[in-house]
Amino acid sequence: MDKRKNKMSEWPRHRMQALWALLTNSYLIGFAQGKIYKGKLKNLCVPGMNCYSCPAAVGSCPIGSLQAVIGSWNFKFAFYVAGLLVFIGALIGRFVCGWLCPFGLIQDLLHKIPFPKKIKTFRGDKLLRKLKYVILVVFVILMPLFLVDILGQGAPYFCKLICPVGTLEGGLPLVLLNKSMRSTIGWLYAWKNVVLAVTIFLSILIYRPFCKYICPLGAIYSVFNPISVFHYRVDESLCTHCGACAKVCKMQIDPSKTPNHPECIRCGQCKKVCAAGALSSGCLRKGDY
Amino acid sequence: MRRRLSSMRWCGVGAAVLGLAMMGFGLYRGELPVVFTKAVNICLECIGIG
C-alpha cells in the first residue's frame, strides 16, 4: 500500500516545479531591495507564467512580452515571442504547465489544502474551458492591437485587468516594499487583488482553475499538445480500459482515449496509475505515433 | 490511424522549425529591445497601478 502511495506521489514533480521556479526567480535580493532585476537575461522569455515585475524574476513573461510588442507603435505582430511559444509548444506542449510554470505550482499546492467539498467538475465545465481562448484573442491580441493611445500604443490589457500572477508576484511585494507605490494604489489594484483572492480560493476547491479557464499561455500550448514532439501514447494491446487513468486525471480527461488532449498538462499521474503499463511518453521513436 | 498520428509528430517538428524561423525574423526586425525595455522597467499595469 505504502509502495503504491509513494509511486503516486506528486512531490517529485513539485520538486522539479520548485527548482525551476527558483531558477527563473533567482534574483532574491530584489525582495530585500524592493527592486526588479535589470540584467540582460530579461531579453529571454521564460516558458511559464512568471511576471517580469516580480522582484526575483530573471526572465520575461511571455504573455506580457507578447502584449508589449503587439501594443508597441512600430510592431503589430510579435514574431520573436510568438515564435518562441510555437517552438516550445511544438516540442513539449503543455508539459510547461505541469512542470515549468511557477503559478501552476502555486495552484497545485493550494489544492492540497483540505476543504470539505472539493469540486472535480461541474455543469458547464467543458464550455468554460473555452474561455481561455477568448481571453487570449480578446485581451492579449485584439485589445492591445486596436485600443491604442494617440501614439498608437496599446496597453497590456490581460496583465492590467485579469492576470493574478502579476498581483501575487509583483504587485504585492513591490507595493509592500515601496512607500511611493503605496500612495498610488487605487481601484485597479483593489480589483486585481479581488481577482487574486478569488483565484486562490477557487484553487483550493478546484484543481488549477486559472490553467483550466483563464490562462492564455495554456491556451497557446494546448493547440500544440496533439502534435508536440514530446507526447503520450497508449499501447492498445496492453490497455484493459479499466478507467483508472481517467479517474486519476485532475484535468478530467481520458488519457486512454485522447492521450494528447489539449487539456493534458503532462503531469504523468495516468502513467503511474496504469497497472498494465499501457501509457508511456517520449519523443520521436521508431514505430511511434 | 498510426500513419496519421506519425505524421502529426512530424507536424510538431515542422512547427518547431517554423517557431525558430519566426524567432529569427523577430530578432532581425528588432523586436528584442521592446521586450527588454518592458521587462527591465516595473510594469505598472501588471502590478495593478497603471
Kindly report, residue by residue over B1-50, the tens digit of the pLDDT: 455 557 888 899 999 999 999 999 999 999 999 999 999 999 999 999 87
User: In chain A, positions 11-30, which contact chain B (CB-CB < 8 Å)?
Assistant: none
| Burial of A51 per CB tally in 10 Å (0-12, 13-18, 19+) | buried
Give A154's strand partners: A148
CA distance A159 to chain B (A): 5
Neighbours of B33 (CB within 10 A): 10
User: What are the angstrom distances between the C-alpha of A234 and each of A107, A225, A241?
Assistant: 28, 15, 11
Q: Kindly provide the ipTM of the predicted complex, given to two decimals.
A: 0.91
Residue A193 with chain B: CB contacts under 8 Å: 48
B12 to A191: CB separation less than 8 angstroms, yes or no: no
What is the spatial distance between Cα A196 and Cα A289, in angstroms, rounded to a whole number?
40
User: Are A52 and B46 a contacting pair at CB < 8 A?
Assistant: yes
Alpha carbon of A158 to those of A100, A170, A187, A239, A270: distances in Å? 21, 15, 16, 42, 33
Beta strands per DSSP E along A59-140: none
| pLDDT tens readout for residues A189-238 | 999 999 999 999 999 999 999 999 999 999 999 999 999 999 999 999 99
The CATH number for A230-289, chosen from 1.10.230.10, 3.30.420.40, 3.30.70.20, 3.40.50.620, is 3.30.70.20
Beta bridge partners of A217: none
**Across the interface, do A156 and B45 touch by the CB < 8 Å criterion?**
yes
Q: For chain A, say whether B24 makes contact (Cβ under 8 Å).
A: yes
Residue spans in chain A of domains classed CATH 3.30.70.20: 230-289
- SS3 category, A249: coil
CB contacts of B19 in chain A (<8 Å) are 83-90
Strand partners, A45: A60
Residues of chain A falling short of pLDDT 50: none
Cell of A21: 521556479
